[in-house]
Amino acid sequence: MSTVKRPIIAIDGPAGSGKSTTARLVAEKLHLMHIDTGAMYRAVALKMLKHGVELTDKEQLQKLLDSTMVTQKESADGLRILLDSVDVTDDIRTPEISLWVGPVSEHPVVREHLVKWQRELGQAGGVVLEGRDIGTVVFPDADLKIFLIADVHVRALRRRKEMLARGIDQPVEEVEDALAARDERDSTREYSPLRKADDAAEVDTTHMTIGDQVDAIVKLALKLGSK
Ligand code: DC
């Protein structure tokens, strides 16, 4: 990358399309910082649940957001997510949080707050951000925008494997139904729905390995320098 030294790379797509692993490896290869924005929504959802804050209580919600800090830490086994300095990496990936994060991430107060955090984190560049609205809302001028897609059954199989590795055994049919419901919810919501930015490169990962996905994106990123 000769001219775009500290690029902003946006990777968006539905749940289970391989965003997290791909973003982590692309960031590693290009020596950039990986930011998992979905984990931020999950951490906020977890804190609301713990503190019994309802989505209808705007005042409490704003108070909670103002006193919350979500940070990330690189570790040998991947990105660790810290909520107010406590490691919640595993706690935010339970089926309960996966359900609850839907309505939480739709709330305009939550979105406004988290988009601000994400812009602050990414504005200096040198980042790979993954999420649903990075290329459309958070960084519409990102240097490279990728939209990952994959067949829902293949995504369910991948998600189940990840969950099994964390000791959660959920039948694949249930995982698939939950993913399809989240796709629907994420793409039809009023604020920042999941959609491909007009200038994003679509990568269908149904028949690709993680290695293929990473190589394809790294190749596109390396071309940025010669633009
Ligand atoms: O990628 P994930 O499954 O960890 O995302 C968790 C939830 O957060 C999911 O319901 C979509 C939402 N999300 C969002 O609305 N905007 C983002 N930039 C990232 C995630």
- Over 80: is that where the pLDDT of 226 sits? no
pLDDT per residue as tens digits for the range 122-166: 999 999 999 999 999 999 999 999 999 999 999 999 999 988 988
- Contact between 92 and 39 under an 8 Å Cβ cutoff? The reply is yes
- Mean pLDDT calculated for residue range 83-112: 94
Specify which residues 79 forms β-bridges with: 74
- For the entire predicted model, the pTM comes to 0.91
Domains defined along the chain, listed by start:
8-221 (3.40.50.300)
- Mean pLDDT calculated for residue range 106-129: 96
Residue that wins the pLDDT comparison between 156 and 2: 156
The closest residue, in CA terms, to atom 4 on ligand 1 is 38
Q: Which CB contacts under 8 angstroms, 24+ apart, belong to 183-188? A: 183/14, 183/15, 183/152, 185/102, 185/106, 186/14, 186/15, 186/102, 186/132, 187/14
CA distance 83 to 225: 36
Q: What's the pLDDT at 95? A: 85
The closest residue, in CA terms, to atom 10 on ligand 1 is 102
Pocket test for ligand 1, best of 24, 96, 97, 101 (most atoms within 8 A of CB): 101
- Contact between 64 and 47 under an 8 Å Cβ cutoff? The reply is yes
CA distance 162 to 31: 25
CA distance 117 to 40: 9
The closest residue, in CA terms, to atom 8 on ligand 1 is 38
Instruction: Tell how far the Cα of 86 is from the centroid of ligand 1, in angstroms.
Output: 21
